[in-house]
Amino acid sequence: MFTFTSNILKNFLSQRATRRYPFETRSPFDGARGMLLNHIEKCNLCSICAVKCPSQCITVDRKALTWECDPFACVYCGICVDACPERALYQKPEYRQVAEKREMISLKGEIKKKVKKETDNGIESE
Amino acid sequence: MSKTIIPFGPQHPVLPEPLHLKLTVEDEVVTEVIPALGFVHRGLEKLSEIRDFHQMVQVVERVCGICSVIHAMCYCHGIEEMMGIEVPPRAKFLRVIWSELHRMQSHLLWLGLFADSFGFEALFMQFWKIREKVMDISESTTGNRVIVSVNVVGGVRRDLNSEQISWILTLLKDIEQEIGALKKTLLTDYTITKRTVGKGVLTKHQAYGIGTVGPVLRGSGVVQDTRTLGYAAFNELNFEPVVESDGDCYARTKVRFRETLQSIDLIRQAMSKIPNGEINVKVKGKPQGEVVSRVEQPRGELLYYIKANGNKNLDRLRIRTPTFANIPAILTMLPGMYLSDVPVIVLSIDPCISCTER
């Protein structure tokens, strides 16, 4: 009986365990995988990211020279970031904010050089 | 007394996920139980036909949110065995560390939910407060809180540096102390023992006979833990399966509580023995053949059957999850119990419905 009383008293005297979100937020951890972004000036539109993405949220059109991503289909796994040969893709530690509308990220890029036939992990791109 | 049929679920305050039980009740006593599943079926096994075997790692992680590392690890073991890939020793130890962290957070989540099932809200919040520290370790070391995407075929994607290891060890010390402070309440408090001791008894013979796995089986006195097979780096760590003999809800609570502390010990052992070196190897070629891979999930033995014929897509992927094996346990335990004990007994098997229905 009353085995929890000391714990309750301790909780009264200690700091609050929660934050007053959204007024007070925790800074993200350094290694956290948050929103996916693309340095389009580095991007070669090789479409390896589109091939490797497990949720198929990236579409690359090499004729229209566009790189498109559906941020609401992205599962934040970071496979595309690891696979990007140009290091153009990166993830911020912050998560994407809630939105009212479903919007696609559409970027206009350019093809700078020929794409290799085979990538390091043995999956062929274009 | 005439029979009454009461639907329990799919939406019920104690159930985090949709499980439907049709309870036949005479007076206040349950006489028959018929389960109905299939509310959250997503057909993830079928996805193996259109996603290649590398992408399937991320898909199988999403079979279950709570034990994503262990699902991915089981799948990767299978593919690695099929392709004859030798994973570097450091990657094996890292897999052990992350899978034990996941076991800890899953058990802490369950201990909280279980306390909530008999109305002990304050204890529920205490356990979840401790769990938050484990989640912080997960987020800072792997990048995500729950579905961490850290396993790949051929090894792991992230490494731990010495600073992170010492930070984790400090946090583990706090976590161990905080869990220890709740031991007296969880295992001796009048309100808890009154609701759990002698409820939902499953004898050793019954538990083995109906094929239960994990803490349900170990709570009934059967010594069976898939980790003793020595997959990943478990063969280099010292541990004994946690076993209790009473077979009631209280015994299962004790098993999970002790396993949480055991996981802390295993992480410490793994961190002290972790070798230096590579964390993954390059994977070339495509899988061919068939393989069965088994690992120990927080809820019990997880089994993957993988069949491939040299294409980038798998031929067949079959996942047998521990909750699926433990559903017969509910059907055996419930008849004869009072209706008010049903939530506690159902939660005592730690049902993970998204796992079961895939």
Q: Do A54 and B147 touch (CB under 8 A)?
A: no
Please name the residue of chain B whose CA is at the shortest distance from the CA of residue A118. B284
Residues B99-114 have pLDDT tens digits of 999 999 999 999 998 8
- Closest Cβ–Cβ partner in B122, B139, B144 for A8: B122
CATH number of domain containing B230: 1.10.645.10
Contacts of B160 in chain A (CB under 8 A): none
Contacts of B140 in chain A (CB under 8 A): 29-32
Tell me the CB-side half-sphere exposure of residue B65, using CA atoms within 13 A: 11
Question: What's the CA angle centered on A111, arms A105 and A114, to 5 degrees?
Answer: 135
Gap between the Cα atoms of B299 and B259, Å rounded: 11
Q: Which domain holds residue B253?
A: 3-348+353-357
**Domain count of chain B?**
1
Q: Do B157 and A82 touch (CB under 8 A)?
A: yes
What is the rounded average pLDDT of the residues B238-248?
89
Gyration radius of chain A's alpha carbons:
21
ipTM reported for the complex, 2 dp: 0.79
pLDDT of A125 above 50: no
Contacts of B57 in chain A (CB under 8 A): 54
- Closest Cβ–Cβ partner in A7, A78, A123 for B143: A78
pLDDT of B117 above 50: yes
What is the rounded average pLDDT of the residues B180-209?
87
CA distance B189 to chain A (A): 6
Residues A55-99 have pLDDT tens digits of 888 888 888 888 888 888 888 888 899 888 888 888 888 888 888
What's the pLDDT band for B295 if we cut at 50, 70, 90? Answer: very high
Given CA atoms B192, B193, B194, B197 in this order, what sign does their dihedral have? positive
Question: What's the CA angle centered on B56, arms B55 and B61, to 5 degrees?
Answer: 110
For chain A, the average pLDDT equals 81
- Which pLDDT value is given to residue A115? 58
pLDDT of B198 above 70: yes
Residues B300-316 have pLDDT tens digits of 899 999 999 888 888 88
Q: What is the DSSP letter of A5?
A: H
pLDDT of A126 above 50: no
Does residue B7 have a cis bond before it (omega within 30 degrees)? no
Residues B116, B195: contact at Cβ < 8 Å? no
Burial of residue A97 (CB within 10 Å: 0-12, 13-18, 19+) is exposed
3-state secondary structure chain B: CCEEEEEECCCCCCCCCCCEEEEEEECCEEEEEEEECCCCCCCCCHHHHCCCCCCHHHHHHCCCCCCHHHHHHHHHHHHHHHHCCCCCHHHHHHHHHHHHHHHHHHHHHHHHHHHHHCCCHHHHHHHHHHHHHHHHHHHHHHCCCCCCCCEECCEECCCCCHHHHHHHHHHHHHHHHHHHHHHHHHHHCHHHHHHHCCCCCCCHHHHHHCCCCCHHHHHCCCCCCHHHHCCCCHHHCCCCCCCCCCCCHHHHHHHHHHHHHHHHHHHHHHHHHCCCCCCECCCCCCCEEEEEEEEEECCEEEEEEEEEECCCCCCEEEEECHHHHHHHHHHHHCCCCEHHHHHHHHHHCCCCHHHHHC
Residues A2-30 have pLDDT tens digits of 777 887 888 888 888 888 888 888 888 88
- Which pLDDT value is given to residue B269? 92
Does residue B35 have a cis bond before it (omega within 30 degrees)? no
Burial of residue B81 (CB within 10 Å: 0-12, 13-18, 19+) is middle
**Cross-strand bridge partners of residue B30:** B25
Arch. (CATH architecture) of A28-108:
2-Layer Sandwich (3.30)
Q: Do B52 and A123 touch (CB under 8 A)?
A: yes
Gap between the Cα atoms of B86 and B266, Å rounded: 23
**Cross-strand bridge partners of residue A38:** A89
Q: Give pTM, 2 decimals.
A: 0.88
Q: Where do the H-state alpha helices sit in chain A?
A: 5-13, 48-52, 79-83
Q: Do A29 and B139 touch (CB under 8 A)?
A: yes
Gap between the Cα atoms of B56 and B53, Å rounded: 5
Residues B317, B55: contact at Cβ < 8 Å? no
Residue B140 φ/ψ, nearest 5 degrees: -75, -30
What's the pLDDT band for A117 if we cut at 50, 70, 90? Answer: low
Which residues lie closer than 8 Å to B229 by C-beta, 6 or more apart? Answer: B294
What's the pLDDT band for A1 if we cut at 50, 70, 90? Answer: low
Q: Assess B42–A contact: CB distance below 8 Å, yes or no.
A: no
Residue B141 φ/ψ, nearest 5 degrees: -90, -30
Q: Assess B135–A contact: CB distance below 8 Å, yes or no.
A: no
What is the rounded average pLDDT of the residues B263-292?
89
